[in-house]
Structure 1
Amino acid sequence: MVNNSQLRHRKRNRKKYFFYTLLFLSFFQHATAQNLIVQTNKPGAPIQPTMWGIFFEDINLAADGGLYAELVKNRSFEFTNPLMGWTERSSVPGNGTVLVLNRSAEKPDNPRFIRVTHYADGPYTLSNEGFRGMGIKAGETYHFSVWDHATAPITLRLQLQSPDGRSIGAATLPLNPTGTWKKDTVSFTATTTDLHAHLSIGFEGQGAVDLDMISLFPDHTWKQRPGGLRADLVQLLADMHPGFIRFPGGCIVEGRDLANRYQWKKTVGKVEDRQLIINRWNTEFAHRPTPDYFQSFGLGFFEYFQLAEDIGAQPLPILNCGMACQFNTSEVVPIPDIDPYIQDALDLIEFANGDATTKWGGLRAAMGHPEPFHLKMMGVGNEQWGPQYVQRYRVFSKAIKAKYPGILLVNSTGPDPNGEKFDFLNDTLRKLHADILDEHYYRKPDWFLQNANRYDRYDRNGPAIFAGEYAAQSDKVVSVNNRNNWECALAEAAFMTGLERNADVVRMASYAPLFAHVDGWQWAPDLIWFDNLRSYGTPDYYVQKLFATNKGTAILPLTLNGSPLTGQEGLYGSATIDSATHEVIIKLVNAAAKPQTPTIRLEDLRRTTTPATVWTLTAASPDAVNSLDNPMAVSPNHTTLPIHGKNLTPTLAPYTFSVIRIKN
């Protein structure tokens, strides 16, 4: 039983609880209501068209097995193990044999081929497994090609097969002896969709046939180019409207040693004449071995330039400066022997921009692009450090600037955003009046939140900054446990408001790495993940896309109590104006665990009745991720917001990134 005294006591406690609740809510309301000011009539530094771009490196099966749409692995038998990826199958022993031959004196860049001898009419096949299987789509047409030299009439029986051996597409290709090498082709349509199919090549007729460059491409490539790029992956890039694309890396530029470095001249010309090399990520991580990772260079420098042109991005090639990866061998070319490396740089500019009458401009024209690619910048080295880098930078800079003074050079500040290596290069290159300094940051999310004001203190008259590689690490660098979760993406968004606010110093920025195959990755996190048929953008991708597609043309002052918004009460922000659309663009990050209801005063805004457009990116949990099965779990939501006079009052949920566009 409860007596009257106890009832009165409980009522007093309830009233006290209600009072303190109101007091707490009042304080909470006061603590989260901010008064922000955007000065819409005071445009500041211009935002470069290159502000938000993409960084491509052939890591995580990003090229072969990824962006490059070739389905056959080791098509030219140039892997260290010449038959890696290929399997002989015969129901009767002795029906056929395969022999690897080498013609290095005749064709040093692609010396190996196979000789298949079929002794009887019984079944004998070679099967290629593809890159973690072959992604085959029902109704898609596939184009098979092979370079062959037959000594007797041989017929190829081609089949796409599911893992259990069922035929899901087939064709017949007769190979007739002509006394010379020739290219034969046939096309056929798949009947079934399969994520992990393989290609089976059966042989009919008796005799021997030499085979090389065995290839299979889907008809549906980017822009329907034969032997082209995977359309869904390029579309994800095009949708970002990037200002530049940096290629081909990354550490593959350096190589584990100089013999393994990226040499652009070996990646252009006819595809069958390009020299395959091992990918340096093949053996880089013992915890993620990838013994079948090589570079065919079907995606070479011509294709990179073409891709940049296709998606409206400026090309930013990075070249080896005579230094191998300092995390591996630290091999360097002596300065007296560095001329071939410098000549490669000069010849690349000619390849990109030269008249068709020049040697390298003529090659570009012969490859189908008579007009120049309008190269404006290039990188000298990737992630080098120390006096040896400065010594080589001086030589490169002198030679390139003497012949092409308008080309801007991107220069390394090492692998870290601070410390002895960074300080040395930052100080030295500034004294040398370098054009662009490339800074890299792979850190925990807290680092990105704490460094949103990093560039507020930079010299406005010094070199431009390229935030060339950055990604928040949910665990630690090189950990297999890193995830592209919302906590990381939100921290990157906060940091990016600081990059944008300092557009007079920061001219370019790109997340890294770009691509990762879900069954063949070495490094995480990554911006875009894919399997053999599907792909998706991570929460980080949507942050990048929102910034790039809402860039604006000049920065505007956005302040709280007269100071930039750099984390006060968990709020980060930047503002720009778009002179083409006459819109004010505000980007706000609420990194706090509480909702925020800031009042934004738009000073000197013309009176408008048009509601603001709002894109909101948020998630139910900081650990939220996207996936192949749920690719849009964390993706932008589109709403509108009324404008009251010159004021906006958005409600920012906890852990939210918002982009607001207002007609001016």
Structure 2
Amino acid sequence: MNDKLTNCGHQITIMEYAGFPFPTVALKVYTSDLTSLFLWTCPRCKGYTKGFEVIYRDHSTCGEGRHAGPTRIDKWKRMGITSNDAAPRAVLLRFLFLLCIGCKCLASEVEATQTATLAVDASPQLARKIPDTLFGIFFEEINHAGAGGIWAELVSNRGFEAGGLHTPSNIDPWSIIGDDSSVFVETDRTSCFSRNIVALRMEVLCDNCPTGGVGVYNPGFWGMNIEEGKVYNLVMFVKSPETTDLTVSLTSSNGLQNLASATVTVSGESNWIKVEQKLVAKGTNRTSRLQITTNKKGVVWFDQVSLMPEDTYKGHGFRTELISMILDLKPRFLRFPGGCFVEGGWLRNAFRWRESIGPWEERPGHFGDVWHYWTDDGLGYYEFLQLAEDLGTEPIWVFNNGVSHNDEVDTVAIAPFVKVCFDSIDVLDSIEFARGSANSTWGSVRAAMGHPEPFPVKYVAIGNEDCGKKFYRGNYLKFYNAIRQAYPDIQMISNCDGSSTPLDHPADLYDFHVYNDSKTLFNMKSTFDRTSRSGPKAFVSEYAVWRGDAGRGSLLASLAEAAFLTGLEKNSDIVSMASYAPLFVNDNDQTYWMQTLFRESSGAMFHPTTISSSYSGSLAASAITWQDSENSFLRVINFGSDAVTLTISTSGLQASINALGSTATVLTSADVMDENSFSNPTKVVPVKSDLSNAAEQMQVTLAPRSFSSFDLALAQSKLVAEM
């Protein structure tokens, strides 16, 4: 707290003054000093001040609706009050008068408690099983979700290919240690790898090099997170015409703190050699770098420089701490690798599965021109299949169907279009790679990579967001017919939305993508109520509040998304799968925590609910139980700005509700626009407490703008009808 008097000039709403929905203002009264009758604490800068300006909402507008926040000044009137007023007591009276006006508005807009009833019919006759696959995850290489994210590779541009094949090329983010008079670097086409031919040539020019040597360093993806005691495996390919000692180090971003170091000797010969070195960190630094230095004059070539922590999830290259967060969602499927990443802005930059398998050092990588960054494809088709297995999820392979954002292959040319890998034979090969025996052509490649047993691919998506493009339908049918003939059990997913209009082509499922503002998505909870119950099932493979009124990952966004998911549960007879997008951005925002409260839904029994209230337009709810569990879950979203006294009536349960063991978990915050961040990662998180009044008939209070999940312990395990 800043104890100095300030004149910050901040404009504070009377509602912010009153402490809702913003931080409380502490008033301090000093009766012994009437010249400074009171001080107050600014909730913006935390400084004590005498001078202030109060902004209050015009009393006549109180009935117009919910408080819109301090950014809407158009309907607010201002009255300045400062400590320079002639009569300090009058100042206080004016302030109290304003506060009364504000509190009157507050009572009508915020403190007013709504009432509602929620009826849950858990009778076996109306129970319906939710598909085992309802909630899963969608992974796309976007926001560095893979390169620099879940994939544990710490070196960015490890193969020096990101600058393109025309050499010399840009080597970002690599940089030199030394100056132009002591070291010179450039790329050339001398690599020993046929599919990624660019290498880095480093020439040391100094006869008496500075202490510590000269060389190159790589900061990784905005700094390498090096942790004390952990082991890091360095692999690089090197050649030098003369015997040279290289020092490989993990240091702080400025090179001054040495976290780990080792010396490797490169024998003087013309052939490339593979160097492997373990580095044990003796300190922790979140913005570290890898550096390679020498004191000897001469030339050294480098290629495919990799640094990975030794501890990855099941030894398969994925970051353990991120995988653990995914596992907490209990996903039932993994859709990969895109998204627009699959299409590419142009076909030349689309994801090609063949280029992403085999030894990592031989993969050429490619430029993801939709999301504008290079990926070395260390996280490739094989790794995605392995990830699905490690997570215990169904893999959903999304492949390019000859269509990108800006160009596409004519259907008449799709079959023989082999060289750029967009023909049906190519897709059949990709399925054989996953499902074929270890003796098959492509199954043997998988087996050589370490997985002799097949991966159980049961779903494929023919393209991504390509419906309506000139050649999509024709290309789709080519792929569909080829796959159906070779693998009749595989479920195929069309890009065309069949929720309101029947598809004009065969499909087992259809994609449904929605990105919208919070209010629209909240109201879309009933989208599938009117959808035909016959025909292909819906796969809501991408959904999010992404625009308009909810910022980036705010509480408001998560509430709308939660309401939307209750609608998917309700309509899970025709909605088979759903996944949020994008899975990874930066921090654990409220949408992540919201999804953890739906993690028990897949495979559960759904029970119909009815909300009765004049306020029902701001409420959403769902109820589930399990046949083999001892719990029932009720989820209720209060999207409105009023608190709600909710009376819950549950009938038809095959067991009574026990207060002992029942809990309530609430996701809310003082400001609906609150977001988590690296500086405050737990600003908005679910809070769990005992539900001491849990019963078939009970009353709870829903906080404004909140998501409440009631975990009701049942007296016995038999809950619903036999399935």
Q: TM-score with structure 1 length normalisation?
A: 0.84
Once the two structures are superposed, residues 429-474 of structure 1 have per-residue CA deviations (whole angstroms, 9 ceiling, x without a partner) of 2x43421111111111011121111111111112111111111135
Work out whether 1:604 is the aligned partner of 2:687. no
Q: Based on CA coordinates, which of the two structures has the bigger radius of gyration?
A: 2
SS of 2:129's equivalent in the other structure is coil
* Kept after mapping to 2: 8 A contact 1:588/1:657: yes
Closer/same/farther in 2, CA of residues 483 and 597 from structure 1, 3 Å limit: same
* Kept after mapping to 2: 8 A contact 1:222/1:231: yes
The residue type paired with residue 604 of structure 2 is T
Work out whether 1:497 is the aligned partner of 2:566. yes
Matched with 2:177 is: 89
Find the partner of 2:305 among 192, 200, 214.
214
The residue type paired with residue 167 of structure 1 is Q
Work out whether 1:537 is the aligned partner of 2:588. yes
Q: How does 1:206-355 map to 2 (within 5 A)?
A: 206-225=297-316, 228-281=317-370, 283=372, 293-325=373-405, 329-339=406-416, 340=418, 341-355=423-437
Find the partner of 2:229 among 125, 131, 139.
139
Select between 78-87 and 440-449 the one with higher mean Cα deviation.
Answer: 78-87
Work out whether 1:167 is the aligned partner of 2:257. yes
Quote the offset at 1:643 in angstroms: 5.5
* Kept after mapping to 2: 8 A contact 1:118/1:205: yes
Matched with 2:538 is: 465
Quote the offset at 1:108 in angstroms: 3.6
Once the two structures are superposed, residues 95-151 of structure 1 have per-residue CA deviations (whole angstroms, 9 ceiling, x without a partner) of 4443422148x7441111123344545232112232122222233222211112232
Closer/same/farther in 2, CA of residues 35 and 542 from structure 1, 3 Å limit: closer
The alignment-based identity, stated in percent, is: 33
SS of 1:383's equivalent in the other structure is coil
Find the partner of 1:447 among 520, 532, 543.
520
Select between 494-503 and 332-341 the one with higher mean Cα deviation.
Answer: 332-341
Select between 251-260 and 197-206 the one with higher mean Cα deviation.
Answer: 197-206
SS of 2:481's equivalent in the other structure is helix
Supply the distance in 1 between the matched residues of 2:162 and 2:657 (Cα, whole angstroms).
Answer: 65
* Kept after mapping to 1: 8 A contact 2:332/2:602: no
Work out whether 1:622 is the aligned partner of 2:668. no
Once the two structures are superposed, residues 148-183 of structure 1 have per-residue CA deviations (whole angstroms, 9 ceiling, x without a partner) of 223221111122222333132221111124553221
The residue type paired with residue 116 of structure 1 is M
* Kept after mapping to 1: 8 A contact 2:130/2:601: no
Q: How does 1:6-17 map to 2 (within 5 A)?
A: none
The residue type paired with residue 594 of structure 1 is D
SS of 1:459's equivalent in the other structure is coil
Supply the distance in 1 between the matched residues of 2:152 and 2:679 (Cα, whole angstroms).
Answer: 22
Matched with 1:652 is: 702
SS of 1:547's equivalent in the other structure is coil
* Kept after mapping to 1: 8 A contact 2:411/2:475: no
The residue type paired with residue 223 of structure 1 is K
The residue type paired with residue 482 of structure 1 is G
* Kept after mapping to 2: 8 A contact 1:63/1:299: yes
Q: How does 1:553-572 map to 2 (within 5 A)?
A: 553-560=604-611, 568-572=616-620
Supply the distance in 2 between the matched residues of 1:263 and 1:493 (Cα, whole angstroms).
Answer: 35
Quote the offset at 1:334 in angstroms: 4.0
For structure 2, list consecutive stretches of 5 or more residues without a partner in the other structure. 1-103, 164-168
Closer/same/farther in 2, CA of residues 510 and 92 from structure 1, 3 Å limit: closer
Work out whether 1:367 is the aligned partner of 2:449. yes
The residue type paired with residue 434 of structure 1 is A
Quote the offset at 1:567 in angstroms: 7.6
Q: How does 1:372-451 map to 2 (within 5 A)?
A: 372-386=454-468, 387-413=470-496, 427=501, 429=503, 431-451=504-524
* Kept after mapping to 2: 8 A contact 1:74/1:85: yes
The residue type paired with residue 440 of structure 1 is H
The residue type paired with residue 410 of structure 1 is I
Number of aligned positions between the proteins: 592
Find the partner of 2:188 among 101, 105, 108.
101
Matched with 1:198 is: 289
The residue type paired with residue 401 of structure 2 is C
Find the partner of 1:486 among 550, 555, 567.
555
The residue type paired with residue 115 of structure 1 is R
* Kept after mapping to 2: 8 A contact 1:597/1:650: yes
Closer/same/farther in 2, CA of residues 154 and 548 from structure 1, 3 Å limit: same
Select between 83-92 and 627-636 the one with higher mean Cα deviation.
Answer: 83-92
* Kept after mapping to 2: 8 A contact 1:474/1:484: no
Matched with 1:112 is: 198
Once the two structures are superposed, residues 268-314 of structure 1 have per-residue CA deviations (whole angstroms, 9 ceiling, x without a partner) of 1100111111121454xxxxxxxxx2010011111111111111211
Closer/same/farther in 2, CA of residues 642 and 569 from structure 1, 3 Å limit: farther
Matched with 1:158 is: 248
Supply the distance in 1 between the matched residues of 2:479 and 2:142 (Cα, whole angstroms).
Answer: 27
Quote the offset at 1:486 in angstroms: 0.4
Matched with 1:356 is: 438
SS of 2:355's equivalent in the other structure is helix
The residue type paired with residue 116 of structure 2 is A
* Kept after mapping to 2: 8 A contact 1:100/1:112: yes
Supply the distance in 2 between the matched residues of 1:458 and 1:170 (Cα, whole angstroms).
Answer: 63
Closer/same/farther in 2, CA of residues 77 and 555 from structure 1, 3 Å limit: same
Quote the offset at 1:615 in angstroms: 1.9
Work out whether 1:509 is the aligned partner of 2:583. no
* Kept after mapping to 1: 8 A contact 2:432/2:442: yes
Once the two structures are superposed, residues 627-653 of structure 1 have per-residue CA deviations (whole angstroms, 9 ceiling, x without a partner) of 112222211122232457632322211
Work out whether 1:640 is the aligned partner of 2:690. yes
Q: How does 1:24-39 map to 2 (within 5 A)?
A: 31-39=114-122
Supply the distance in 1 between the matched residues of 2:214 and 2:696 (Cα, whole angstroms).
Answer: 78
Supply the distance in 1 between the matched residues of 2:463 and 2:239 (Cα, whole angstroms).
Answer: 43
Quote the offset at 1:622 in angstroms: 0.6
For structure 1, list consecutive stretches of 5 or more residues without a partner in the other structure. 1-19, 284-292, 414-421, 517-528, 530-535
Find the partner of 2:598 among 543, 547, 556.
547
Closer/same/farther in 2, CA of residues 136 and 333 from structure 1, 3 Å limit: farther
Supply the distance in 1 between the matched residues of 2:126 and 2:633 (Cα, whole angstroms).
Answer: 12
Supply the distance in 2 between the matched residues of 1:590 and 1:394 (Cα, whole angstroms).
Answer: 45
Select between 345-354 and 216-225 the one with higher mean Cα deviation.
Answer: 216-225
The residue type paired with residue 340 of structure 2 is C
* Kept after mapping to 2: 8 A contact 1:244/1:316: yes
Select between 51-60 and 117-126 the one with higher mean Cα deviation.
Answer: 117-126
Supply the distance in 2 between the matched residues of 1:132 and 1:645 (Cα, whole angstroms).
Answer: 52
Supply the distance in 2 between the matched residues of 1:331 and 1:321 (Cα, whole angstroms).
Answer: 9
The residue type paired with residue 265 of structure 1 is R
SS of 2:644's equivalent in the other structure is coil
Closer/same/farther in 2, CA of residues 364 and 560 from structure 1, 3 Å limit: same
* Kept after mapping to 2: 8 A contact 1:38/1:600: no
The residue type paired with residue 595 of structure 1 is A
Supply the distance in 1 between the matched residues of 2:222 and 2:626 (Cα, whole angstroms).
Answer: 45
Q: TM-score with structure 2 length normalisation?
A: 0.77
* Kept after mapping to 2: 8 A contact 1:155/1:175: yes
The residue type paired with residue 197 of structure 1 is S
The residue type paired with residue 590 of structure 1 is N
The residue type paired with residue 269 of structure 1 is G
